[in-house]
Amino acid sequence: MEKVLDYIRKNGMLKEGDRVIAGVSGGADSICLLFLLDRYREALGISVEVVHMEHGIRGKESLEDAAFVENFCRERKIPCHIFHRDVPSLARKWKCSEEEAGRRARYEAFEEICEKYGGTKIAVAHNRNDQAETLLFHLVRGSGLSGLSGIRPVRGRIIRPLLCLTREEIEGFLKEEGISFRTDGSNLETDYARNRIRLNILPLLREELNPRTCEHLAETAERLALAEDYLEAQAEEAVKKLTGRRKGRTEDGGTELLLERKGFLEEPEALKAYILRHCLRELAPENALYNVSALHLAAIAELAGKQSGRSLDLPGEVRAYTEGSLLVFEKGKKASGRKVEEKTDAAEELEIPGSVRYGKYRFAASVFPYKSEIIPENRYTKWFDYDTIKSTVQIRPRRSGDFLTVTASGGRKTLKKYLIDEKIPAGERDRLCLLADGSHILWVVGHRISEAYKVTEKTSRVLKVQVMED
């Protein structure tokens, strides 16, 4: 495994004196990571400590994982910190999926141990298969170049030393070394979108097209990451040229940044979005662009070509407006421009379980066994019979051919006729969010659900979907 040591050095992941906090679940990937960090710690001049998160989900099996990790560390005299968290409760509290709540809880634990024990790096065990899965996942969701760049080997103080290895290489190495590991049974379930990619799609691609599919997809992500880094660097230089670092305070205590419109409009189309993101990041770094979508960036680019005096309100209390030859970004001043419409024409797959943003909403989905509970009546939280769903559930606007089942006996009505009958104004119909199983509408969000997907006494599994403003 000199390959991993070379990868660490090539990417500048570690330096002498680093205290590495390693996330270890007990699975093959994380055990391999810990084993190699321990093997190389003298050569690299580092120290290693372990964080294990017991999520309170899989009962006895989860506790056994924690005991396995603790014993593995004890045998090697590696400090180990076991955290016990009730992730289902945290998911309810934070209004997110259990998967997202677990990830957040783990990183909170990493940060806590870093703060307490002087940790300088956080090591996690993503591999090349994870990279391939991430690329496919983002590709089908319509991500831009940033999403297709996949998982980075280094991001801040988070490092991923195993990104140079496939899952098969990892398990083969552990077998050669006689090192045991734990297997999480939930990784074999297809309720998660990523698991479906791992268990169904990638094996098919390997068998039918190319046995090295994972390696090639991972290499593609790495090349796209290089392209993304290049565009970011070019955009940074363009911002320096077009703004002259003209950033300062406004009369009412806000901050502003001035961008030369003519120069911006002459930049390549591929670079414009990156330039605008740099401007916003420079103006409002605390916003971290979290709520700035491609739709916002396109609207700003359009604004730059319009006459003086036009304005646009953006997330993070930022306002953009044209003034003579300048495009002005202003933060902290009361909004007075037009808002970007959050209309989305594209479909977005509902991650089950999980959460996904669509327009101004966030959809959170979970699946659980039905035990004849009383179904809560809530306009923006609905229960569906999960076993009746035929295909991937999408969030999308209306399309030709859409229909609902409106009677218990199976009577159908076109969506168009339903909307007319319900006297929903024509101007609102294209802005409705729909939950769709092909052309069959599960739920007109904010209105009714289809009779075909209602929970009955025969239901074994419930799909719960909650809609929240993001």
pLDDT along the chain (470 residues), means of 10: 92 96 96 96 95 87 93 96 91 78 90 94 95 88 81 94 95 95 72 77 92 93 94 93 64 75 93 91 64 79 87 82 90 57 64 79 86 79 89 87 91 92 80 89 92 91 84
236 falls within a domain: no
Among residues 317, 339, 361, the one where a domain terminates is 339
Inside any domain, residue 188: no
Q: Which amino acid is at 334?
A: K
Flag whether 225 is in a domain: no
- Output the six-digit token pair for 303: 């604004």
pLDDT, residue 68, reads 96
Please indicate, yes or no, whether residues 460 and 357 belong to a single structural domain of this protein.
yes
Q: Are residues 290 and 422 in the same domain?
A: no
Residue 11 sits in the same domain as residue 104: yes
Q: Are residues 20 and 106 in the same domain?
A: yes
Number of domains the chain is built from? 3
Q: At what angle do helices 213-243 and 269-283 cross, to 10 degrees?
A: 70
Which residue type occupies 319? Answer: R
Q: How many angstroms from the chain centroid is the CA of residue 359?
A: 15
Do 287 and 362 belong to one domain?
Answer: no
Q: Which two tokens stand for residue 36?
A: 């190699």
What percentage of the chain's residues is helix, strand, coil (to nearest 5)? 45, 20, 35
Assess if residue 131 is contained within a domain.
Answer: no
Determine the pLDDT at residue 289.
58
What three-state secondary structure class fits 444? strand
Residues 56 and 170 in one domain: yes
Q: Are 331 and 419 members of one domain?
A: no
Which tokens belong to 395?
């969030």
Give the integer Cα–Cα distance in Å for 272 and 231.
10
What does the block give as tokens for 173?
A: 């190495």
- Domain containing residue 335: CATH number: 3.30.465.60
| Residue 166 one-letter amino acid | T
Cβ neighbors of 325 (< 8 A, separation 6 or more) are 260, 261, 262
* 384 shares its domain with 329: no
- Could you tell me if 379 and 465 are in contact, meaning their C-beta atoms sit under 8 angstroms apart? no
**Any domain includes 229:** no
Is 221 within the bounds of a domain?
no
* pTM of full prediction above 0.75: no
Q: How far apart are CA 114 and CA 120, in angstroms?
A: 7
Is residue 231, in this structure, part of any structural domain at all?
no
Q: Which residues pair with 338 in a beta bridge?
A: 312
Contacts of 356 by beta carbon, 8 Å cutoff, 6+ apart:
141, 348, 349, 350, 362, 363, 395
CB neighbour list of residue 439: distance below 8 Å, 6 or more residues apart: 399, 401, 402, 403
176 and 301 within one domain: no
> Quick check: 236 and 248 in contact, CB under 8 A?
no
- Domain boundaries, position 10: 2-125+160-182
Q: Please say whether the beta carbons of 436 and 396 come within 8 A.
A: yes
Residues 405, 428 within the same domain: yes
Residue 178 lies in a domain: yes
Could you tell me if 21 and 106 lie in one domain?
yes
CB crowding 249-273: b at 16 or more within 10 Å, else e: eeeeebbbbbbbbeebeebeeebbb
The reported pLDDT for the residue numbered 246 is 55
Question: Same domain, yes or no, for 389 and 408?
Answer: yes
- Structure tokens belonging to residue 234: 């070019």
DSSP structural state of residue 449: B
Among 284, 311, 339, the domain-final residue is 339
Identify the pLDDT of residue 16: 95
Distance of alpha carbon 402 from alpha carbon 388, whole angstroms: 18
Rounded CA separation 289/264 (Å): 20
End-to-end Cα separation, the chain, in angstroms: 44
CA distance 401 to 256: 48
Q: Domain ends where: 291, 311, 339?
A: 339
